[in-house]
């Protein structure tokens, strides 16, 4: 099992350090220490890996900082925004660090600092434009390989200027760059805007979320606050980690910028495209990976193959993110590897939780006292589902000054609030109080195990047009495909006519699927009929209570997945 290191690190003053300053410090004091490890040959991972050192990283950042000064146009804004979209390579973290460094004297000693906006290239044009408008961003940097995506967006926004991105080899080169010194202290820079991520946009347009230097340093804060409690951060300390999540994503950028600099994680890279199970097995083997952040769909795929299962069991840690992990995969792994749910959001960041050596209840978490997480019992109080909220520590508390300024990043984003509802629904362990498992959200979005999802109501409305359907529910949280649960009109349920009913349902299902991406469409094989003796749960208004009704059929839903998938 895992050999987990302790925190804080010896001789390190955690909690008030800037990632930019730590990078330069490590490049000076320990220049040959590895920052990332990448394949020698992306086409043949079996040839092994090579390290990029902190000396090389810092040199590349200095090259990039000088490049930004030369190529970005002047601005009168105190913080000039520029968007960047590129392939999955090291330009993302190099340009990000450089953006944080650059403050150019312009317009009679007005310091113009930079903030880097990170739109997902997969977003629709309207979502792109919304984020650029919200951040008053008039510059879009991209390499030629991204021209077809970015230029289409640029054409729709007047005044938006394209900046050709530098080649990676022009930044990550052996020639020493002239030092680009960053002189701001923690107190001066901690609340400066730096990187702009965005939410997934499941209930509308994606929302841009601006991360300050302090918010990107929350891993360092957690190292200071952990105390005797084991946290996820302990797993990253001085270990080799891999994730397929792109660096445009908050988790991917956090790992390669924050975990690496603050707790000495070595980030192991793979080829730029989404990894197949076979590629992932090679990455874990030849990259000598200790831990991995994976989406459940990848874990499930590997668990179905003997060599994939062996590769996962060779790890010390698996942190899964994006959706719940299937019970079968969890049971196969929990005895051999530390299996940890990674829960959070772009706004809140990673939830600050305490970890346990637990092979049975691996899918439950316990909140660290510094998280400020509370259970809202006024919502769903007659059911087992609860809403987790975050409360600002009160001024009357002796911990208030320490915690408010250090850990609860949601209140850096929303300083006018003292309460934040996550909209996540949780279930407490039936016998182990204080352990919680996330089971869904208050809205009707169904996240699937591969990271995509669908709005349940879109499908349900079409299905309920059928004369024999009284109500329809879409489920499948964390599964590869959605399941459709149908409650028939009273007196019309007949198991012997099930095949005939499914055939009559196909035109409605076809219309519903036409509104969904292929990866989230409902398959006729995953249609389940509710039993007359077990009707859907209704609210006082008479509407179907979604999650309680799906919970009624938990065993039947698991059974149909076992038979079909």
Provide the pLDDT for residue 106.
Answer: 45
Residue 556 maps to which CATH number?
3.30.300.30
Provide the pLDDT for residue 499.
Answer: 83
The most confident of 35-49, 142-156, 447-461, by mean pLDDT = 35-49
Assess if residue 470 is contained within a domain. yes
Assess if residue 386 is contained within a domain. no
Closest CA to 293 of 264, 323, 273, 271: 323
For residue 381, count CB atoms less than 10 angstroms from its CB and return exposed for 0-12, middle for 13-18, buried for 19 or more: exposed
Provide the pLDDT for residue 84.
Answer: 97
Residue 486 Cα distances to 373, 467, 513, 530, 555, angstroms: 36, 12, 16, 6, 15
3-state secondary structure of 552: helix
Instruction: Give the pair of three-digit tokens for residue 266.
Output: 């070595």
On the question of pLDDT at 62 being above 90, the answer is: yes
For residue 560, count CB atoms less than 10 angstroms from its CB and return exposed for 0-12, middle for 13-18, buried for 19 or more: middle
Pairing assessment for the beta strands 366-367 and 34-39 based on DSSP bridges:
unpaired
The residue ranking higher by pLDDT, 564 or 323, is: 564
548-562, pLDDT tens digit by residue?
889 899 999 999 999
Question: What is the arithmetic mean of pLDDT over 175-192?
Answer: 94
Assess if residue 151 is contained within a domain. no
Per-residue confidence at 45, pLDDT binned at 50, 70, 90? very high
Assess if residue 555 is contained within a domain. yes
Assess if residue 554 is contained within a domain. yes
Assess if residue 449 is contained within a domain. yes
On the question of pLDDT at 542 being above 80, the answer is: no
Assess if residue 391 is contained within a domain. no
Per-residue confidence at 382, pLDDT binned at 50, 70, 90? very low
Closest CA to 19 of 100, 83, 95, 84: 100
395-414, pLDDT tens digit by residue?
434 343 344 445 688 888 88
On the question of pLDDT at 328 being above 80, the answer is: no
Closest CA to 310 of 270, 341, 272, 282: 282
Per-residue confidence at 189, pLDDT binned at 50, 70, 90? very high
- Which range is least confidently modeled, 29-33, 384-388, 505-509? 384-388
What is the 3-state secondary structure of 221-262? HHHHHCCCCCCHHHHHCCCEEECCCCCCCHHHHHHHHHHHHH
| Radius of gyration, CA atoms only, the chain | 25
Question: What is the arithmetic mean of pLDDT over 52-78?
Answer: 94
Assess if residue 341 is contained within a domain. no
pLDDT above 70 as % of the chain: 90
Per-residue confidence at 190, pLDDT binned at 50, 70, 90? very high
Provide the pLDDT for residue 295.
Answer: 83
Beta bridge partners of 341: 320
Determine the structural domain holding residue 466 and report its residue range. Answer: 445-564
Domain count, the chain: 1
On the question of pLDDT at 381 being above 50, the answer is: no
Provide the pLDDT for residue 407.
Answer: 62
- Alpha-carbon distance 265 to 281, whole Å? 20
Residue 47 CB neighbours (<10 A): 12
């Amino acid at each position: 099992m895992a050999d987990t290191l302790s925190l804080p690190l010896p001789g390190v003053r955690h909690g008030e350090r800037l990632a930019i300053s730590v990078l330069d410090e490590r490049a000076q004091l320990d220049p040959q220490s590895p920052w990332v490890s990448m394949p020698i040959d992306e086409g043949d991972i079996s040839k092994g890996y090579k390290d990029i050192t902190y000396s090389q990283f810092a040199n590349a950042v200095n090259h990039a900082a000088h490049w930004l000064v030369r190529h970005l146009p002047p601005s009168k804004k105190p913080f000039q925004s520029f968007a960047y979209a590129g392939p999955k390579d090291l330009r993302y973290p190099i340009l990000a660090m450089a953006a944080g460094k650059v403050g150019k004297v312009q317009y009679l000693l007005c310091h113009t600092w930079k903030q880097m906006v990170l739109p997902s290239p997969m977003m629709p044009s309207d979502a792109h434009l919304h984020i650029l408008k919200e951040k008053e961003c008039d510059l879009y940097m991209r390499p030629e390989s991204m021209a077809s995506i970015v230029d289409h967006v640029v054409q729709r926004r007047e005044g938006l200027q394209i900046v050709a991105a530098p080649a990676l080899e022009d930044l990550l080169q052996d020639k020493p760059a002239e030092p680009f010194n960053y002189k701001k202290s923690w107190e001066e820079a901690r609340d400066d805007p730096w990187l702009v991520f965005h939410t997934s946009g499941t209930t509308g347009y994606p929302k841009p979320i601006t991360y300050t230097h302090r918010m990107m340093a929350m891993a360092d804060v957690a190292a200071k606050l952990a105390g005797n409690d084991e946290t996820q951060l302990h797993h990253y300390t001085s270990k080799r980690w891999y994730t397929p999540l792109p660096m445009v994503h908050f988790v991917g950028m956090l790992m390669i910028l924050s975990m690496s600099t603050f707790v000495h994680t070595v980030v192991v890279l793979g080829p730029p495209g989404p990894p197949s199970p076979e590629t992932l097995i090679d990455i874990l083997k030849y990259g000598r990976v200790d831990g991995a952040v994976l989406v459940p769909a990848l874990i499930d795929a590997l668990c179905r193959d003997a060599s994939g299962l062996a590769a996962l069991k060779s790890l010390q840690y698996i942190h899964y993110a994006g959706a719940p992990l299937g019970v079968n995969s969890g049971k196969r792994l929990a005895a051999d590897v530390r299996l940890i749910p990674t829960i959070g959001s772009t706004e809140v960041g990673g939830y600050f939780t305490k970890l346990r050596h637990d092979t049975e209840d691996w899918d439950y978490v316990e909140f660290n006292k510094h998280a400020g997480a509370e259970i809202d019992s006024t919502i769903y109080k007659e059911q087992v589902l609860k809403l987790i909220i975050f409360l600002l520590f009160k001024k009357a508390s002796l911990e208030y000054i320490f915690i408010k300024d250090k850990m609860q990043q949601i209140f850096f984003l929303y300083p006018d609030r003292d309460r934040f509802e996550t909209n996540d629904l949780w279930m407490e362990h039936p016998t182990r109080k204080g352990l919680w498992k996330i089971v869904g959200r208050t809205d009707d979005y169904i996240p699937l195990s591969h990271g995509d999802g669908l709005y349940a109501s879109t499908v349900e409305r079409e299905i309920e047009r059928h004369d024999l359907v009284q109500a329809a529910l879409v489920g499948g949280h964390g599964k590869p495909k959605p399941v459709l649960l149908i409650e028939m009109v009273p007196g019309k349920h007949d198991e012997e006519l099930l095949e005939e009913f499914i055939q009559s349902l196909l035109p409605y299902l076809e219309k519903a699927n036409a509104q969904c991406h292929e990866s989230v469409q409902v398959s006729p094989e995953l249609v389940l009929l509710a039993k007359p003796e077990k009707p859907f749960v209704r609210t006082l208004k008479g509407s179907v209570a979604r999650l309680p009704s799906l919970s009624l059929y938990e065993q039947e839903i698991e059974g149909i997945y076992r038979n079909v998938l």
